[in-house]
């Protein structure tokens, strides 16, 4: 009986009127966990009942605690008929199971009904008493922390990064069970919500078990997805990266990630030893100061020694008999007992010449441990290869060999992380991806999800081999996704092939020394660009040049990755969002024929998406893509591809070549003219973009001539001249440095279209930047004003003879318009940057395209010089903006109800669609937005909007209230009064952001993962304001529920928030619609920097104190 769950129902408020006669409600509450149910008394005739119940106690297994959600149902008591349900609250009690997270869940939760939405709120207190169970055969995995964040969470330090964990569970979808024919939609929705909640609990528990098996204590980059396979069932799958994390005890140790993340990382190990266990040997502190002066070889030795002391002193893992785990788990028995010898052997090794044979000289008892340290050693030398120049080659090979052997121990050397501690990433190969088309069949036995498992294993294997072909032994920034239509399913996986520093896979405590050395020896931020593969044996054709930064290693001409920009990378100018959009028609087909058709189309789509990306990248004058995410969606009669990435100009990579247009029929004069016209336009665009994104690479070419290593430079020129195009452009002409001209042939109208679409991409209005990575490369001075938003847009295509081009154009317009309207809405935040822009496309039905965008807008300070460390000015500025900052999360959603779907005015409809058709003859363009159903409803607000006109003009939705304050009464006074209570008022402010950090603030505590699934259904779509009104309200409600849960945990923000699924289905004829939304994120507590000053100004004694009791301050 390892756990006791205690629940208290305190009160309700704003309940709906359930009894028409009295306009009141007789409410009571059912509390259910597992199979046990308790009830409160009925609180008669009140919309604000005060139950103040006793503590309901559930005695349960911790396995159940992990799996089951707590289910609270509010009902209206009815003497004569059945009690009416008002709504439900599901509470995931998982956060209470970590030792250091929340201790109590207490607060107001919105009461949610799948038909009516939020109906009042209920105040609940939940506690868990957990008894420790050390049974090694246990099925539960309490205590394993989960993070959605795809980097090492801010107040933790990675000791070991173990690697990939995955799991999937399957079940029958209640929506498709026979019983669904007789039960109410509400019952079926609730069954589904409950099942998914249960399944994700189970999944999390199982993954937790795997992590414990790997000796980790946390999962980072946890990504859980639902596949609604319809008839064939429901799959919940998750991937993540198992880690051993150490909590950093003092929050004061952090600097805001947004300002100087690298510094942040550096300082952690320096200022205090958060974990006396790992660092108790202590030599690290003096060592670090010295490393600067050490010669490389010496620093190796120091390093090895310090690392092995760490190893020997890491007692937290119990003896582990399996010797094969030695690479991964340093505390194997042989190691811990032989630490002294080990140290000696290490030193011995490093003093002698660099030969791996030495390991054989050591006594056989230590064979294993020696080879281990050997590898460490070699890794270190591999890292130093930058300074070693060409001689680095053999080292590199060795390094590869060694780390490979380490990683090959694992089935899949994948990491879901996208941002890493400095020094973790050695080289990046490029994007690897794999897709496969599968036919779904009914899952016969839910307990044996083998088929699905096998599918994924296949794909992962493919990814692994791709990575190997790139000379990489690991894949980072790994993610998986599916797209399902009827019984065909596309499974996709993608990641970035990379060479990692094996040190981190074993023991992260060395990171400080290592990193120091790295920064000393390697020219900052170009190491990861260097090719990991063999130059002579390239996996694909690429133009290699010498790195423009260090001039020693080869780099490719462009680099595509799925990860975030490494913090130490040198970037010139700013980045921008680059999207490739593509539609392909396909014939409607059944089952296997369909699957074949899709798999035949896939390679072409991939190719085209890639070409588009490449072209757009060149057009922007950039040479690298980060955060690349290619999504291919399958629909009834089309396939859609959407690739988003952030383009940047990496200083280490060569100048991007321009785009050249070549016509196939050069004899035609007018045609020639046309081509040259186009060429000019393209060149202009490139020049303009370069200016826009401030890409002015330093003119190294001339300066460096006198530098000591001109030789490689010459070579690179040689290499370039070979591919140089005929027209002679001087080296200095940077506006259009034609190195490797990218030639576009326009031989048919198709290609013409492509070129046109290239040019139609409108840059965002001035003051706006956008990217899909965590932060915008090239902008560092964020202010703390953030605004997260979600926008859903549904568009219906008219079905008549669609062509690929028309479709492409529609889709392109849709995305562009979506972005445009976002820019418009956020205009008050200028200058700002849309970060983490996440597009999701789905094709819920025939001719229906749904695009969901989630992003966060962060303002930045234009005047502040880049890289400034907190000046006083900035501090005061930040404080000012904090005051009037808000997170008014208007879900900026809108949907265009298309005309054909609209049952009302058929005549007008034809008229309009006809007119739109005549406008653009060939294209059956998507019909425009129609609001008629909404008009009368809104009319009463017209006058209000007039009243508001002032507000609206100023900034529609957001902030900058400062000036406005003056107008109504003595607002200043009001604010003074309201500011303090707002902190402890019933509605605490909870921020939401898809980023892993909060600008201008420090995350002091992670409270647990938020993973929620909601279904909303309506049978009165028109009355609720049509599709737009329905979705708008639903998204707002989802936000409200997420915030309420976070607030109840004691948190004040959700980071790494993501809307993983938004499935919308409508049946306009029946006036019905249904929507499923799945969101997740990490609940955190953050402190504003301005507030933190007070705390941190206290002498560092506080830090010492808190670090003494084992780094556990959270109790």
Partner 1 sequence: MNDAVALRVRSGILEQTGATAAVLQSDTMDHYRTFHMLERLLHAPPKLLHQLIFQIPPSRQALLIERYYAFDEAFVREVLGKKLSKGTKKDLDDISTKTGITLKSCRRQFDNFKRVFKVVEEMRGSLVDNIQQHFLLSDRLARDYAAIVFFANNRFETGKKKLQYLSFGDFAFCAELMIQNWTLGAVDSQVDDMDVDLDKEFLQDLKELKVLVADKDLLDLHKSLVCTALRGKLGVFSEMEANFKNLSRGLVNVAAKLTHNKDVRDLFVDLVEKFVEPCRSDHWPLNDVRLFLNQYSASVHSLDGFRHQALWDRYMGTLRGCLLRLYHD
Q: How far is the CB of 813 from partner 1 (least distance, A)?
A: 10
**Contact between 888 and partner 1 per CB under 8 A:** yes
Asked if 769 and 782 touch (Cβ cutoff 8 Å), the reply is no
Asked if residue 831 has a cis previous peptide bond (ω within 30° of 0), the answer is: yes
| Site stretch for partner 1 (CB under 8 A), options 88-96, 430-438, 799-807, 813-821 | 813-821
Total residues contacting partner 1 (rule CB under 8 A)? 77
**Contact between 963 and partner 1 per CB under 8 A:** no
Return the H-helix or E-strand segment holding 499.
strand 488-500
Asked if 618 and 656 touch (Cβ cutoff 8 Å), the reply is yes
Q: How many CB atoms lie within 10 A of CB 282?
A: 12
CA torsion angle 660 664 669 673 (round to 10): -20
User: Residues of 775-785 as b/e, b for ≥16 C-beta within 10 angstroms?
Assistant: bbbbbbbbbbb
Pick the binder of partner 1 from 10, 11, 130, 989 (CB under 8 A): 989
The Cα–Cα gap between 994 and 855 comes to: 7
Pick the binder of partner 1 from 398, 961, 1063, 1065 (CB under 8 A): 961
| Site stretch for partner 1 (CB under 8 A), options 310-318, 557-565, 641-649, 973-981 | 973-981
Closer to partner 1 by CB, 277 or 817: give it.
817
Give residue for tokens 């980790």: 216
| Site stretch for partner 1 (CB under 8 A), options 64-72, 331-339, 539-547, 940-948 | 940-948
- DSSP string over 870-885: --HHHHHHHHHHHHT-
C-alpha of 710 from chain center: 42
| Site stretch for partner 1 (CB under 8 A), options 336-344, 425-433, 956-964, 1051-1059 | 956-964
The Cα–Cα gap between 579 and 435 comes to: 20
N-terminal to C-terminal alpha carbon distance within the chain: 24
Name the region of 1035 (left: φ>0; alpha: ψ -120 to 50; beta: rest): alpha
Residue 171 contacts by C-beta under 8 Å, 6 or more apart in sequence? 195, 199, 233, 234, 236, 443, 446
Q: How far is the CB of 1018 from partner 1 (least distance, A)?
A: 15
Closer to partner 1 by CB, 546 or 1014: give it.
1014
The Cα–Cα gap between 693 and 687 comes to: 10
Q: How far is the CB of 859 from partner 1 (least distance, A)?
A: 16
Pick the binder of partner 1 from 68, 861, 893, 1089 (CB under 8 A): 893
Interaction with partner 1 in 70-129: which residues (CB under 8 A)? 108, 110, 118, 121
The Cα–Cα gap between 1039 and 1059 comes to: 10
Q: How far is the CB of 998 from partner 1 (least distance, A)?
A: 15
Closer to partner 1 by CB, 470 or 826: give it.
826
Interaction with partner 1 in 407-446: which residues (CB under 8 A)? none
Closer to partner 1 by CB, 276 or 767: give it.
767
Closer to partner 1 by CB, 865 or 969: give it.
969
- DSSP string over 72-116: EEEEE--SSSPPEEEEEEEE--GGGGSSSS-SEEEEEEEEEETTT
Closer to partner 1 by CB, 382 or 1029: give it.
1029
Q: How far is the CB of 1072 from partner 1 (least distance, A)?
A: 20
Closer to partner 1 by CB, 457 or 957: give it.
957
* Site map (CB under 8 A) of partner 1, residues 821-840, x = contact: x-xxx-x-------------
Q: How far is the CB of 48 from partner 1 (least distance, A)?
A: 10
Q: How far is the CB of 1068 from partner 1 (least distance, A)?
A: 18
The tokens of 450 are what? 């083998």
Asked if 441 and 232 touch (Cβ cutoff 8 Å), the reply is yes
Closer to partner 1 by CB, 743 or 762: give it.
762
Q: How far is the CB of 87 from partner 1 (least distance, A)?
A: 13
| Site stretch for partner 1 (CB under 8 A), options 219-227, 231-239, 532-540, 814-822 | 814-822
User: Residues of 797-827 as b/e, b for ≥16 C-beta within 10 angstroms?
Assistant: bbeeebeebbbbbbbbbbbeebbeebbebbe
SS3 content of the chain, % helix, strand, coil (to 5): 40, 30, 35
Pick the binder of partner 1 from 134, 907, 942, 963 (CB under 8 A): 942
Pick the binder of partner 1 from 77, 1025, 1071, 1095 (CB under 8 A): 1025
**Contact between 987 and partner 1 per CB under 8 A:** yes
Interaction with partner 1 in 908-937: which residues (CB under 8 A)? 928-929, 931, 934-935, 937
* Site map (CB under 8 A) of partner 1, residues 7-26, x = contact: ------xx------------
Interaction with partner 1 in 735-794: which residues (CB under 8 A)? 765
Pick the binder of partner 1 from 886, 912, 925, 1106 (CB under 8 A): 886
Closer to partner 1 by CB, 743 or 949: give it.
949
Q: How far is the CB of 816 from partner 1 (least distance, A)?
A: 10
The Cα–Cα gap between 829 and 958 comes to: 8
Interaction with partner 1 in 1031-1090: which residues (CB under 8 A)? 1032-1033, 1036-1037, 1039-1041, 1043-1044
The Cα–Cα gap between 18 and 24 comes to: 6
Pick the binder of partner 1 from 17, 365, 945, 966 (CB under 8 A): 945
Question: Which of 898, 654, 708, 890 lies closest to 788, judged by CA?
Answer: 890
**Contact between 884 and partner 1 per CB under 8 A:** yes
The Cα–Cα gap between 1074 and 1072 comes to: 7
Q: How far is the CB of 25 from partner 1 (least distance, A)?
A: 15
Secondary structure string (H, E, C) spanning 1002-1022? EEEEEEEEEEEEEEEEECCCC
Q: How far is the CB of 926 from partner 1 (least distance, A)?
A: 12
Q: How far is the CB of 563 from partner 1 (least distance, A)?
A: 32
Closer to partner 1 by CB, 603 or 905: give it.
905
The Cα–Cα gap between 283 and 271 comes to: 14
Pick the binder of partner 1 from 890, 912, 917, 1114 (CB under 8 A): 890
The Cα–Cα gap between 852 and 829 comes to: 22
**Contact between 938 and partner 1 per CB under 8 A:** yes
Asked if 795 and 849 touch (Cβ cutoff 8 Å), the reply is yes
Pick the binder of partner 1 from 892, 923, 1055, 1077 (CB under 8 A): 892
Q: How far is the CB of 969 from partner 1 (least distance, A)?
A: 5
Q: Considering all CA atoms of the chain, what is the largest pairwise distance in Å, rounded to the nearest integer?
A: 96
Closer to partner 1 by CB, 945 or 1104: give it.
945
Asked if 837 and 577 touch (Cβ cutoff 8 Å), the reply is yes
Q: How far is the CB of 661 from partner 1 (least distance, A)?
A: 28
Closer to partner 1 by CB, 365 or 947: give it.
947
Closer to partner 1 by CB, 951 or 1072: give it.
951
CA torsion angle 565 567 568 571 (round to 10): 50
Closer to partner 1 by CB, 110 or 421: give it.
110
| Site stretch for partner 1 (CB under 8 A), options 146-154, 290-298, 540-548, 939-947 | 939-947
Three-state DSSP state, 834 = strand
Pick the binder of partner 1 from 390, 588, 862, 948 (CB under 8 A): 948
| Site stretch for partner 1 (CB under 8 A), options 353-361, 432-440, 947-955, 1002-1010 | 947-955
């Amino acid at each position: 009986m390892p756990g006791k769950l205690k629940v208290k129902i305190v009160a309700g408020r704003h309940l709906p009127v359930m009894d028409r006669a009295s306009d009141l409600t007789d409410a009571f509450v059912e509390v259910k966990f597992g199979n046990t149910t308790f009830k409160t008394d009925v609180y008669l005739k009140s919309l604000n009942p005060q139950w103040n119940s006793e503590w309901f106690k559930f005695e349960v297994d911790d396995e159940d605690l992990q799996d089951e959600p707590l289910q609270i149902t509010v009902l209206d008591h009815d003497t004569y008929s059945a009690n009416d349900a008002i709504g439900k609250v599901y509470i995931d009690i998982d956060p209470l199971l970590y030792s250091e997270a929340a201790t109590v869940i207490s607060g107001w939760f919105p009461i949610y009904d799948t038909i009516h939405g939020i109906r009042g709120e209920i105040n609940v207190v939940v506690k868990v008493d957990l008894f420790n169970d050390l049974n090694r055969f246990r099925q539960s995995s309490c205590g394993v922390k989960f993070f959605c964040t795809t980097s090492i969470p801010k107040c933790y330090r990675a000791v070991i990064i173990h690697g990939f964990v995955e799991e999937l569970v399957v079940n029958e979808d209640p929506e498709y069970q026979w019983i669904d024919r007789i039960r109410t939609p509400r019952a079926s929705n609730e069954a589904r919500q409950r099942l998914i909640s249960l399944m994700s609990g189970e999944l999390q528990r199982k993954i937790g078990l795997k992590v414990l098996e790997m000796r980790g204590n946390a999962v980072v980059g946890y990504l859980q997805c639902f596949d609604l396979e319809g008839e064939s069932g429901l799959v919940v799958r998750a991937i993540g990266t198992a880690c051993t994390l150490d909590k950093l005890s003092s929050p004061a140790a952090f600097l805001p990630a947004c300002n100087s993340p690298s510094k942040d990382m550096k300082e952690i190990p320096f200022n205090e030893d958060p974990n006396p266990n790992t660092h108790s040997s202590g030599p690290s502190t003096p060592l670090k100061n010295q490393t600067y002066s050490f010669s490389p070889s010496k620093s190796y030795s120091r390093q090895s020694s310090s690392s092995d002391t760490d190893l020997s002193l890491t007692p937290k893992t119990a003896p582990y008999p399996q010797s094969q785990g030695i690479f991964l788990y340093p505390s194997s028995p042989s190691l811990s007992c032989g630490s002294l010898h080990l140290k000696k052997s290490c030193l011995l090794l490093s003093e002698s010449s660099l030969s791996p044979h030495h390991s054989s000289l050591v006594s056989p008892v230590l064979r294993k441990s020696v080879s281990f340290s050997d590898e460490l050693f070699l890794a270190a030398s591999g890292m130093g290869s930058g300074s070693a120049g060409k001689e680095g080659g053999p080292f590199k090979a060795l390094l590869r060999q060694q780390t490979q052997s380490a990683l090959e121990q694992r089935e899949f050397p994948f990491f879901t992380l996208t941002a890493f501690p400095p020094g973790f990433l050695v080289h990046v190969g490029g994007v690897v991806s794999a897709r496969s088309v599968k036919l779904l069949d009914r899952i016969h036995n839910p307990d044996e999800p083998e088929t699905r498992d096998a599918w994924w294993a296949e794909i992962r294997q493919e990814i692994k081999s791709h990575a190997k072909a790139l000379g990489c032994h690991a894949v980072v920034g790994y993610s998986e996704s599916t797209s399902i239509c009827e019984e065909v399913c596309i499974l996709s996986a993608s990641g970035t092939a990379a060479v990692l520093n094996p040190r981190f896979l074993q023991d992260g405590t060395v990171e400080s020394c290592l990193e120091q050395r790295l920064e000393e020896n390697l020219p900052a931020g170009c190491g990861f660009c260097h090719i990991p593969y063999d130059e002579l044996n390239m996996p694909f054709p690429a133009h290699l040049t010498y790195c423009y930064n260090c001039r020693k290693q080869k780099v490719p001409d462009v680099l595509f990755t799925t990860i975030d920009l490494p913090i130490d990378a040198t970037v010139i100018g700013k980045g921008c969002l680059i999207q490739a959009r593509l539609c392909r028609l396909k014939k409607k087909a059944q089952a296997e024929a369909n699957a074949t058709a899709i798999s035949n189309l896939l390679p072409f789509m991939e190719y085209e998406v890639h070409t588009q990306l490449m072209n757009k990248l060149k057009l922007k004058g950039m040479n690298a893509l980060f955060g690349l995410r290619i999504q291919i969606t399958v629909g009834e009669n089309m396939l859609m591809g959407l690739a988003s990435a952030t383009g940047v100009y990496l200083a280490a990579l060569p100048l991007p070549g321009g785009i050249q247009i070549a016509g196939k029929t050069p004899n035609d004069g007018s045609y020639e003219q046309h081509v040259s016209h186009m060429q000019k336009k393209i060149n202009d665009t490139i020049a303009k973009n370069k200016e826009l994104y401030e890409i002015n690479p330093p003119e190294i070419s001339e300066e460096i001539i006198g530098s000591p290593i001109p030789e490689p430079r010459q070579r690179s020129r040689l290499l370039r001249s070979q591919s140089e195009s005929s027209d002679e452009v001087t080296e200095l002409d940077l506006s259009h440095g034609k190195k490797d001209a990218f030639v576009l042939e326009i031989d048919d109208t198709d290609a013409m279209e492509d070129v046109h679409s290239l040019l139609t991409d409108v840059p965002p209005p001035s003051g706006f930047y956008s990217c899909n990575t965590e932060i915008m490369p090239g902008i560092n001075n964020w202010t703390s004003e953030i605004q997260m938003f979600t926008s859903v847009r549904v568009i219906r295509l008219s079905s008549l003879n669609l062509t690929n081009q028309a479709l492409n154009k529609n889709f392109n317009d849709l995305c562009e318009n979506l972005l445009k309207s976002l820019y418009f809405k956020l205009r008050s935040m200028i200058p700002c940057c849309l970060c983490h822009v996440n597009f999701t496309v789905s094709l819920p039905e025939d001719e229906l395209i749904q695009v969901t965008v989630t992003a966060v807008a962060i303002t930045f300070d234009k005047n502040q010089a880049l890289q400034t460390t907190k000046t006083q000015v900035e501090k005061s500025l930040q404080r000012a903006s904090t005051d009037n900052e808000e997170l008014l999360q208007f879900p900026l959603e809108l949907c265009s109800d298309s005309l054909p779907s609209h049952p009302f005015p058929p005549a007008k409809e034809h008229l309009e669609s006809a007119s739109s058709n005549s406008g653009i003859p060939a294209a059956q363009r998507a019909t425009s937005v129609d609001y008629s159903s909404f008009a009368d409803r809104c009319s009463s607000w017209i006058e209000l909007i007039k009243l508001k006109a002032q507000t609206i003009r100023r900034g529609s939705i957001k902030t900058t209230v400062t000036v406005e304050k003056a107008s109504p009464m003595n607002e200043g006074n009001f604010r003074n009064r309201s500011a303090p209570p707002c902190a402890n008022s019933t509605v605490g402010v909870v921020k939401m952001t898809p980023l892993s950090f909060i600008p201008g603030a420090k995350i002091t505590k992670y409270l647990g993962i938020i993973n929620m699934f909601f279904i909303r259904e309506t049978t009165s779509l028109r009355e609720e304001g049509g599709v737009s009104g329905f979705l708008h309200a639903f998204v707002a409600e989802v936000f409200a529920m997420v915030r309420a849960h976070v607030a109840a945990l004691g948190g004040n923000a959700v980071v790494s928030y993501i809307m993983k699924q938004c499935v919308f289905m409508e049946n306009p004829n029946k006036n019905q619609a249904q929507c499923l939304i799945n969101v997740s994120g990490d609940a955190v507590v953050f402190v504003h920097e301005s507030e933190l000053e007070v705390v941190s100004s206290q002498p560092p004694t506080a830090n010492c104190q808190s670090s003494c009791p084992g780094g556990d301050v959270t109790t």
